[in-house]
Structure 1
Amino acid sequence: MDAYGTGSDARQGRGDDQDVPAGAGGGTGSTGAAGSTRAAGSTGAEAGAAGEPGEAAEPRTGVAALSPRYQVGAVIALAVVAVAVCAHLGLVFLHVAPSNTLTKKHGAAVDEWVFPEFEQNWKLFAPNPLQQNVSVQVRAEVSTADGGIRTTGWYDLSAEDGRAIDGNPAPSHTQQNELRRAWDFFVSTHDSDDRPVGLRGALSESYLRRIAVLRLERNDAAGPDGVVERVQYRSRTTNVEPPPWSGVKVSDRPTVRQLPWWPVSGESEKKGGAA
């Protein structure tokens, strides 16, 4: 019994010992675990908060990625381009705008910049639609193989362009404007006696001569053995009849303008025209 009691006491003691330390140990353990959890969570949150700026930041691109010296250079280059674009647009605007104080004073500078690359043939504030039908024709003097000279008939170049454009949903710029612009260029740089006014007059003659050679070759005007020696232009201008309500009266008689014969400088002129 002593042994049993001792064992019971021992077991009871052990139970008491287990209950007391267990409670104390459990409290301490829970507190320690919670404290450890909170400490770990706080450490992780702090680490996350500390790492957020680095993770959120993205690498710089574009001008911002350049060094300060190159950023200054890029800004200067953009400023120069912006100034050049504004100056170009301003000069083109003065070219197409009605006559004013600036164009009267600086017209030569404006024309020097605009011609010939940026030429405009329309008016911004005063559209001037075509009011005449102009037909441009050309003929040639051809030297034959037997040493003779023959004169071809008139080739209606305007009618040829018209047939090429008619029914074509996307005609080329050459078909629409090459001949028309060349003739307008000639008329505007020559006086009523067909004498050139300034250097641009001589240039317009050379341009028309090359077009004539090219078109005559296309029509095989010289034949297999002939050579084009001279060309001659003429135009037939007819006024477009105005609408009845306008009350404007215009002549319906065509006006014919025939230019003198122009020599063609052999193969060099023909090759230039073909080019």
Structure 2
Amino acid sequence: MDAYDEDSNAPDGGAPPGDAAAGGPSGAHDPLGAGGTPGVGDRPPLGEPSGAPARPGAGDPSGAGDPSGPGGHSVAPGPGGHPVVPGPRAEARAGVAALSTPYRVGAALALAVVAVTACVHLGMVFLHVAPSNTMTKQHGKAVDDWVYPEFEQNWKLFAPNPLQQNIAVQVRAEVATGAGGLRTTGWYDLSAQDGRAIDGNPVPSHTQQNELRRAWDFYGASHTNENRPAGLRGMLAEQYLRRIVVLRLGRDHAAGPHGVIQRVQVRSRTSNVQPPVWSGEKVPDTPAYRVLPWWTVPSGELEGGVR
């Protein structure tokens, strides 16, 4: 009996079933093998899907066989068949460089205007605080027009002899009563009112700290010792101070229910700050007063404001 069963109908000397030479379904071309299970020699490598086509240049870190190149970028073959890897892309421009030419010109002009204005301002402030010199003598009016009143500088804190006095601004009013008579109020200490509003207040307002004080300084700097105004600034200082005190009297209801303020009088009370006991310095402790003349209140300010 032959080595093969006669039911196989294989001719004598023929190749056995499943032989690769016979082109049968088993062997290297049979994905399931002879027994219907995957053959050991036919399993795909780990990490590769079954039946997936082989990637060109797989395992080659240079990506020479991969037309997409490293990182997935398209690679064109160079001279000699070597791939040419493109360089990194240029970064997008930002800021002024990203603008078009007209906008860049506009931005440059704006920066130039800001720079020139800043230089002029610093120069004006320097001339304002500098000692008297040829420039301030020739162009003093232009410097004052630029600096006053928004950019005025006060260096008294850093002076060799800082202020050692307390100055309080007080006011009283002459009121026309409803019965047709006149009465004079007592003195209202406006500086003390501002002090009470500031004391213990972590964020006091600018008006509470500086409005009255700066108005009095403005008046003293623009008037003579006889309380005569020195030029137009003196008249402006007098009007400014009068409006402030009338407004404060209106808030305090100094005129009463049916009264009308006719005139006001302002005075300052200056007292020296007493030195420490260990210094041995002696200063007068008696306050000094500067009393201004009575000012008639215009009709536009009778209600405590400006009309």
After superposition, what is the alpha-carbon deviation per residue over 1:33-67, rounded to whole angstroms, capped at 9, x for unaligned?
999648972532272566654xx444333212212
Asked if 1:213 is matched to 2:246, the reply is yes
Q: Aligned residue for 1:273?
A: 305
Letter in 2 for 1:174: T
Counterpart among 66, 73, 83 of residue 106 in structure 2: 73
Counterpart among 31, 55, 62 of residue 95 in structure 2: 62
Letter in 2 for 1:217: G
Question: Could you tell me how far apart the structure 2 residues matched to 1:82 and 1:272 are?
Answer: 44
Aligned residue pairs total: 247
Instruction: Tell me if structure 2 keeps the 8 A contact 1:96–1:124.
Output: no
The structure-2 alpha-carbon separation of the partners of 1:36 and 1:89, relative to structure 1 and needing over 3 Å to count, comes to: same
The structure-2 alpha-carbon separation of the partners of 1:274 and 1:175, relative to structure 1 and needing over 3 Å to count, comes to: farther
- TM-score of the pair, normalised by structure 1: 0.77
* C-alpha RMSD over aligned residues: 3.1
The higher relative CO (CA closer than 8 Å, separation ≥ 6) is in 1
Asked if 1:41 is matched to 2:65, the reply is yes
- TM-score of the pair, normalised by structure 2: 0.69
What is the correspondence of 1:163-174 to structure 2 with a 5 Å cutoff?
163-174=196-207
What is the correspondence of 1:94-243 to structure 2 with a 5 Å cutoff?
94-122=127-155, 126=159, 129-243=162-276
Unaligned stretches of 5+ residues in structure 1: 9-13, 16-32
Letter in 1 for 2:68: G
Max Rg structure: 2
The structure-2 alpha-carbon separation of the partners of 1:192 and 1:44, relative to structure 1 and needing over 3 Å to count, comes to: same
The structure-2 alpha-carbon separation of the partners of 1:185 and 1:36, relative to structure 1 and needing over 3 Å to count, comes to: closer
Question: Could you tell me how far apart the structure 2 residues matched to 1:218 and 1:85 are?
Answer: 41
Question: Could you tell me how far apart the structure 2 residues matched to 1:97 and 1:246 are?
Answer: 34
Unaligned stretches of 5+ residues in structure 2: 1-10, 16-20, 23-52, 76-83
Specify the SS of the correspondent of 2:67. helix
Question: Could you tell me how far apart the structure 2 residues matched to 1:35 and 1:142 are?
Answer: 106
Q: Aligned residue for 2:32?
A: none
Instruction: Tell me if structure 1 keeps the 8 A contact 2:246–2:304.
Output: no
Specify the SS of the correspondent of 1:41. coil
Query: Which moved further from structure 2: 103-112 or 148-157?
Result: 103-112
Question: Could you tell me how far apart the structure 2 residues matched to 1:36 and 1:156 are?
Answer: 97
Q: Aligned residue for 2:284?
A: 251
Sequence identity, in percent? 66
Instruction: Tell me if structure 1 keeps the 8 A contact 2:262–2:302.
Output: no
After superposition, what is the alpha-carbon deviation per residue over 1:58-113, rounded to whole angstroms, capped at 9, x for unaligned?
43332122122321221122122112112212322332344445434433222110
Instruction: Tell me if structure 2 keeps the 8 A contact 1:135–1:157.
Output: yes
Question: Could you tell me how far apart the structure 2 residues matched to 1:244 and 1:103 are?
Answer: 44
Question: Could you tell me how far apart the structure 1 residues matched to 2:174 and 2:213 are?
Answer: 23
Question: Could you tell me how far apart the structure 2 residues matched to 1:91 and 1:124 are?
Answer: 21
Question: Could you tell me how far apart the structure 1 residues matched to 2:149 and 2:230 are?
Answer: 17
Instruction: Tell me if structure 1 keeps the 8 A contact 2:191–2:212.
Output: yes
The structure-2 alpha-carbon separation of the partners of 1:211 and 1:127, relative to structure 1 and needing over 3 Å to count, comes to: farther
